[in-house]
Amino acid sequence: MEAKPKVKPGNKLRSESEEVKLQKVSKQIVQNAILRAVQQVSQEIQQKKEGIASINRIGLQLEKSFGDTKHSYHHLKS
């Protein structure tokens, strides 16, 4: 068991004040980290949505260019 250092009355107030400051700073660090993580996930989701939309546009363009690909495929199989 570690012995706690003896704190003088004046130092105790300062230590409590420093503890409150540390808690506030720690809370802010955690909040910033959470915010960055949420922003990163949101950005990744948006990029995936844009990628899907792009693929869908390409698919529509191909359909317009080549017609119904299923029909064409079945025709080639026969």
Question: Which pLDDT value is given to residue 15?
Answer: 84
Helices (H), ranges, the chain: 9-66, 69-77
| Beta-carbon contacts of residue 69 (< 8 Å; ≥ 6 apart) | 62, 63
Across the chain, mean pLDDT equals 81
What are the tens digits of pLDDT across the range 3-37? 555 555 556 666 888 999 999 999 999 999 999 99
For the entire predicted model, the pTM comes to 0.54
Backbone angles phi, psi at 67, to 5 degrees: 80, -160
Contact call for residues 72 and 66 (beta carbons, < 8 A): yes
Dihedral of CA atoms 21, 27, 29, 30 in degrees, nearest 10, equals: 160
